[in-house]
Amino acid sequence: MYEEKYNEAVLPNGIRLIHKQKAGEIAHLVLMVETGSRDELEHQNGMAHFIEHTIFKGTQNRKAYHILSCLDNVGGDLNAFTTKEETCLQASFLKQHYRRAMDLFSDLAFRATFPENELTKEKEVILDEINSYLDAPSEEIYDVFEEMMFKGHPLSRNILGTCDLVKGFTPNDVREFMAQNYDTSNIIVATIGDISFHEFEKLAMAYFGEHPSHSPNHVRQPFVNYQPQEQTAERRNHLSHCMIGGIAPHFNSPQKMPIVLLNNILGGPAMSSRLNLNIREKYGFAYTIESQYNAYSDTGLISVYMGVDPDSLEKAIALVYKELDKLCTQSLGTLQLNHAKQQIIGQLALSYESGMNELLSITRSVLLDEPLEYMPEIIRKVEAVSANDILDIANQVFDRNKLSCLIFKGTE
């Protein structure tokens, strides 16, 4: 058995490394950059996501086909995603293909060429993605809600951007954005797999160590001056869609664990969440009802989403507020608190059974300057949360005077 241990190092050019040796045939590799849609200027909205797509379209060493087939040909999986604060490449593969995977990641990160003809083709794919999401109000409402909550701030912008802006992006625009925001100091290369730390560090030095560092000139604008909002828009849909929420603690806040528990109790993934039991199961008002806590580097957002029949909308909204009020006024009993803790511990343990989920979680933690924690430490933090901690954070985030509400009212 290998010791449960995370190893960290920094290459001379500033790239950070994270490593965990784990027995098994499958290895996971992540390259995460601390650059997302909140780092775009207004005319660049959608650029981080555009780069995530087009980085696969050619490098100095590979054409698009060779990039896509590099790991595919040996049964591996290659993917990428963009958030408001990160861009990430991720791969899973048989452990004997580490060198192949790290060579590919290095090529993509530092030698992508963004050929204009390939960018033109990929724009059509992204435009279809934007239009597809606009056809799904249950997805669109999340982005419109964040636009409302973070109004006037870069966090308000949609990750995908707009059709008009995406159509106008050029290879020079891509290179300008990368020069402003990408640097070896905000890149992490991380792995979980059956490889020693010494061997991983040696490969990382070979494939990532030669790239020079430079200082990006973009500084993130902190979010301040939240103002609660209420908005209603009509949509030609059978269902009405509603979101209710407020500003919450940031990623590194000491209140993060209490609000994670609070969110799980309210409307987390378990079928026994209060929203699911008291609105969906008891009254049958909502096919989908859930709550979500999104933590960013300097702020956070907690929200409730539901899709309901228009005739039941007002009753469902009243019931949601009733559940929020209960969490602000009624402290959890000993058994309720213990159940909530055991539930979140089990969910976290199941999530970490996936090496990729664990890897993405620890990489983002390091990117946002949070110390690496092992599962026993996380469990101790969960166990330390008191009923008063949950009551306090509920009163902070569910104060009626600080909540916003967005409704997409169905008209069919």
Q: Does residue 85 contact residue 296 with C-beta atoms inside 8 Å?
A: yes
What amino acid is encoded at 243 in this protein?
M
Closest CA to 403 of 273, 260, 279, 229: 229
Please tell me the predicted confidence (pLDDT) of residue 236: 81
**Residue 171 CA to chain centroid, in angstroms?**
27
- Is residue 15 a contact partner of residue 40, using CB atoms and an 8 Å limit? no
Three state DSSP letters for the chain: CCCCCCEEEECCCCCEEEEEECCCCEEEEEEEECCCHHHCCHHHCCHHHHHHHHHHHEECCCEHHHHHHHHHCCCCEEEEEECCCCEEEEEEEEHHHHHHHHHHHHHHHHHECCCHHHHHHHHHHHHHHHHHHHCCHHHHHHHHHHHHHCCCCHHHCCCCCCHHHHHHCCHHHHHHHHHHHCCHHHEEEEEEECCCHHHHHHHHHHHHCCCCCCCCCCCCCCCCCCCCCEEEEEECCCCEEEEEEEEECCCCCCCHHHHHHHHHHHHCCCCCCHHHHHHHHHHCCEEEEEEEEEECCCCEEEEEEEEECHHHHHHHHHHHHHHHHHHHHCCCCHHHHHHHHHHHHHHHHHHHCCHHHHHHHHHHHHHCCCCCCCHHHHHHHHHHCCHHHHHHHHHHHCCHHHCEEEEEEECC
**pLDDT score, position 1:** 41
Q: Which residues in the chain come in under a pLDDT of 70?
A: 1-3, 215-216, 412
8 Å CB contact between 197 and 19: yes
Contacts of 160 (CB under 8 A, 6+ apart): 46, 49, 126, 129, 130, 133, 166
Report the candidate in 184, 168, 220, 163 with the shortest Cα–Cα distance to residue 39: 220
Model pTM score = 0.94
| Residue entry with tokens 């402003």 | 180
